[in-house]
Amino acid sequence: MNARDPDAALNAPQALEEVSRAWDDDIVHRLEDYIRIPAKSPAFDADWAKNGFIDTALWDAATWVQSQKVEGLTLEIIRLEGRTPVLFFEIPASSGDTSAAPLDTTPANQTVLMYGHLDKQPEFTGWRSDLGPWTPKYEDGKLYGRGGADDGYAVYASMAAVAALKSQKKAHPRIVGLIETCEESGSYDLMPYIDALGTRLGDVALVICLDSGAGNYDQLWLTNSLRGMAGGVLKVEILTEGVHSGDASGLVPSSFRIMRQVLDRLEDSATGRLLPASFHCEVPPDRLAQAQATAAILGDELYKRFPWAHYDCGGASQFALPTTTDPLQALLNRTWKPTLSVTGAEGFPDFRNAGNVLRPYTAFKLSLRLPPLVEAATVTAELKQLLEDNAPYQARVTFEGGGGATGWNAPSTAPWFEKALHQASNDYFGAPCGYIGQGGTIPLMNMLSKGFPKAQMMVCGVLGPKSNAHGPNEFLHVPYAKKLTAAVAQVIAQMSA
């Protein structure tokens, strides 16, 4: 795979036209149907198997893939006992000449693995009055609704990229697809499937993961790192039942105040810095250099793109401020620094029922984002000891880990892969490929890097500015998705050159 055939490149205008037509005539409508399905990940729907929404989303995708009539395609839905199902498909390598037999050369024996997921985050609140998580709306090139961008489009875009290769009779390696339904719960079901599939995955030389983000909508973006995550429920109990606050306050310590003291062991509340040194790591020099280049491209958009709260201040509009306005530091803060978020709470009555009562307990759901090189299992164990030991006032403090995933740092980029990325980005966007770390987690990537250490990783996606995955008003930027789809086809074609 050292010498590249310049004729292997796709006819870019033709590819983009065909891909765009597929999106406009078919894929957008399929995704509208998908958005209507509340296929929440098992972490957010304990009765997922009984409710059947994940099965519906998977069957719809499988039926559509099968209907594309791709030559040689085989497809199956695989189910392991007690686990969420996966969709697995395989397309044999091709010389590009439909009259010829499938390729049997060394490059052709290598495999492209295309990945996506169909499970979703929960609804969340704050949707625009004319939008909703399960009510798709296509407006100004944006398809609104939960899961369209994260990550329902992936299987459809993958097949559209294959169709572009087939239409131009371009040679391509063997292609397999793995679409899971547990990603938003940490992909805890995925490794058993990878083990079960074993040799069927093949000699994976290129992974295409369409579950990541974009720094802007003006060029192709390759994700070069992902943060890991650890989390769980921290609970502070001080009473067996609520008591009159006038009677008990001053003698019974507030469970909320104890919670604050316990969290102070973990985080400097003035700066947001996590205190345990083991939760941090050095930024590798190559990633720092790429971050500097990306910061120069994106500038203050790195922090301006978020929906900051604002209010009237003496006739002037006052906006909340970010932790930093330095573009490089902003980029590193969201990709290589550990952070703490409280994503849920229990033990608090709503305002209408909040009497003058000292509450018996406070519980927070904690979410830690970890630097790519920090092991999640180690952090989870340290976190439990840090939070539970020597509780103030001998309160009952418990931390129940909710799973985690170690982050990922991309392997070195092969010359052919780097060249293919820049050519695809220039062909379809008119700008070179950008490199960016992402603050989110894709558990599969660390697994695959360990299983296929020589594979190149094309981790990219449509989650650009304001797309707001996991939150209200999530949207899929369709014009960007069309160009990304064509770029994927281009890179696959270059792999076989």
pLDDT in tens, 168-181: 999 999 999 999 99
Alpha-carbon Rg for the chain, nearest whole angstrom, is 24
Identity at 10, one-letter amino acid code: L
Q: Name the residue among 404, 368, 357, 392 with its Cα closest to residue 236.
A: 392
Spatial CB neighbours of 355, under 8 Å, sequence gap ≥ 6: 349
| Residue whose pair of structure tokens reads 């919670």 in the numeric block | 259
pLDDT given for residue 5 in this prediction: 55
pLDDT given for residue 316 in this prediction: 82
Domain ranges of the chain: 6-226+407-495, 229-284+309-405
Q: Domain 6-226+407-495 belongs to what architecture?
A: 3-Layer(aba) Sandwich (3.40)
Task: Please state, rounded to an integer, the average pLDDT across all residues of the chain.
Answer: 94
CA dist 382 and 279 (Å) reads: 9
pLDDT band at 311 (very low <50, low <70, confident <90, very high): confident
Residue 212 clears pLDDT 60, i.e. is over it = yes
Over range 13-18, report the average pLDDT: 98
pLDDT given for residue 108 in this prediction: 47
Fold agreement between 6-226+407-495 and 229-284+309-405: no
pLDDT given for residue 433 in this prediction: 98
pLDDT band at 3 (very low <50, low <70, confident <90, very high): very low
Over range 254-267, report the average pLDDT: 98
pLDDT given for residue 1 in this prediction: 42
pLDDT band at 288 (very low <50, low <70, confident <90, very high): very high
Segment (H or E) for 295:
helix 285-298
pTM of the predicted structure, to 2 decimals: 0.90
pLDDT given for residue 8 in this prediction: 67
pLDDT given for residue 97 in this prediction: 67
Residue 104 clears pLDDT 50, i.e. is over it = no
pLDDT given for residue 477 in this prediction: 98
Residue 106 clears pLDDT 60, i.e. is over it = no
pLDDT given for residue 403 in this prediction: 80
Query: Contact, 170 vs 227, CB < 8 A?
Result: no
Segment (H or E) for 22:
helix 12-22
Spatial CB neighbours of 192, under 8 Å, sequence gap ≥ 6: 80, 83
Per CATH, the number for 229-284+309-405 is: 3.30.70.360
pLDDT given for residue 497 in this prediction: 67
Query: Contact, 172 vs 165, CB < 8 A?
Result: yes
Over range 328-344, report the average pLDDT: 97
Query: Contact, 56 vs 196, CB < 8 A?
Result: no
pLDDT given for residue 162 in this prediction: 98
pLDDT band at 186 (very low <50, low <70, confident <90, very high): confident
Report the percent of the chain where pLDDT is more than 90. Answer: 89
Residue 293 clears pLDDT 60, i.e. is over it = yes
Q: What tokens were used for 176?
A: 């397999």
Q: Which range is least confidently modeled, 316-320, 345-349, 385-389, 394-398?
A: 316-320
Which residues, in sequence order, are bridge partners of residue 86? 78
pLDDT given for residue 75 in this prediction: 98
pLDDT given for residue 105 in this prediction: 40
Report the percent of the chain where pLDDT is more than 70. Answer: 96
Summarize pLDDT for 384-425 with one digit per residue, the tens. Answer: 999 999 999 999 999 999 888 999 999 999 999 999 999 999
Residue 247 clears pLDDT 80, i.e. is over it = yes
Q: Which residue has the higher pLDDT, 19 or 96?
A: 19
pLDDT given for residue 224 in this prediction: 97
